[in-house]
Chain A
């Protein structure tokens, strides 16, 4: 006997209670899940350094623009930082193709939950959901196709707006770690973090936080061949997003150009830096 729930469109409604698009996709169309196709490590371009820092009004995230395949620069204007929804940002280091697909799925996941439940997930809920998706990728990560995201957002439930900007880091096994002040992931993260240690201050404003992140990416590009520095001849600057209580916005190229020129002038006067 066929139950009404299995007919036509309603085969999509067979499991009441689940508001997860990922779980639904895995059951309804497993071939569309990220990483279900076999790729070879050496052929897949890699993305590299992502940095994020909190400031008085929220959180800022930035990523360089380079993707590499071995010794070759595969792309010089790739974008690795995205808005996941109105108040969250996600940046991805690792295998570029897989990472971008994962971000796309995560964006649908958050919107799907919101539409079905009529309410958004909390910031911690969103971070936990991302951790589960990374864990689902573990077997592919073991083959060398690692994706490591950096997640940040403005917590609308926070009691004090000054501490509402939050950052989470993840490991390939799905571990989720709340970070204070700032964090960095990717191949140039060691150098970026070293720079952030000296540059980040608790009382940064929006412009100050953007400058600190762009400068930390400059330092990462200085010492890591897989991280791209600002490309002045082509006008390619890092992707920078700012998230505050009023939502997320991408920082414009004119503003970034000014910041990059200021950093270069500063560095020219201190050639040892």
Chain B
């Protein structure tokens, strides 16, 4: 009988973290930030059918980066949980906080108990009656939950994007200004020779949680409307974005 190799818990967790982080960092980024009328989601996504941003409930939206099948699973489960709570209690009893907690528990369990962690990072956002009540939660692959004030960045190069956004973000901006800030930040990395990239409307997926709307606050901003909202410079010179939805990491899979 062969003895299994001993690996310390610390080592196992570090390996899993590294695996998940590697998967996430190869995908394109998503920026979520608050503006005057609510929350705006800006994702770099060339596909108009496979969404990274979605409606969960009346006041709650969802954004994700990483492996599509994994965050799609989480998105559907979130919609089901929200609809179940709203049906059995009341529509006002569905909150982003409860949903974010459920996601955190789930991701945490998967991280510690499964062979392979989820290679995802997700954001649950809720628009409040006033700007002070807006909430942004960021959830990581290991179940870490952070309540972010104002804005958050997920995906590849999140750290440098975070720095860009910190400089440019102002609370209470108009929708066009908020989108411009997000798009400029997204384009600040990944260009050739460190040059900023121009991102046309066709490369972006944008949606808002708008507190001035009726019952359902979530609204997608179509390509035509988006082109009108974008700063003039980003309309032309479409540059290919870096590869998205990375294939399975074969090295890490051979254990």
Contact = CB atoms under 8 A, between A and B. Distances in A.
B47 to A, nearest CB: 12
A180 interface: no
Nearest to A13: B77
A108 B87 contact: yes
Interface string B219-248: 000000000000000000000000000000
A29 B51 CA distance: 29
Contacts of B49: 118
B147 interface: no
B54 interface: yes
B102 to A, nearest CB: 4
Contact of A9 (B88, B103, B113, B114): B103
B129 interface: no
Contact of A104 (B87, B109, B114): B87
Interface string B66-107: 000000011011111101101110000000000000110110
Which size bracket describes the interface of B in this complex? Answer: 20 to 34
A126 interface: no
A23 B52 CA distance: 26
Contact of A29 (B76, B86, B88): B88
Given A8-B102, A9-B102, A115-B79, A28 B73 contact: no
Contact of A12 (B56, B77, B87, B109): B77
Given A4-B110, A115-B55, A9 B79 contact: no
Interface in B29-50: 49
Q: Which of A4, A104, A115, A118 has the most CB of B within 10 A?
A: A115
Contacts of B109: 7-8
A24 B79 CA distance: 11
Contact of A111 (B76, B83, B106): B83
Interface string B113-125: 1100000000000
Given A9-B81, A10-B106, A32 B114 contact: no
A25 B102 contact: no
Nearest to B79: A115
Interface residues of A, number: 24
A119 to B, nearest CB: 10
B74 A25 contact: no
Nearest to B107: A8
Contacts of A207: none
A9 B87 contact: no
Interface string A20-60: 01001100110010000000000000000000000000000
A69 interface: no
A116 interface: yes
A2 B110 CA distance: 11
Interface in A108-140: 108, 111-112, 115-116, 118
A7 B113 contact: yes
A107 B26 CA distance: 40
Interface of A: 2, 4-5, 7-10, 12-13, 16, 21, 24-25, 28-29, 32, 104-105, 108, 111-112, 115-116, 118
Given A32-B84, A116-B76, 7 more contacts: A7-B113, A8-B106, A9-B81, A10-B77, A10-B110, A16-B76, A21-B87
Top 4 A-B residue pairs of the complex, sorted by shortest distance between their CB atoms: A8-B106, A13-B77, A9-B106, A12-B80
17 contacts: A9-B105, A9-B106, A12-B77, A12-B81, A12-B84, A16-B73, A16-B76, A28-B80, A29-B84, A29-B88, A32-B87, A105-B87, A108-B83, A112-B80, A115-B56, A115-B83, A118-B54
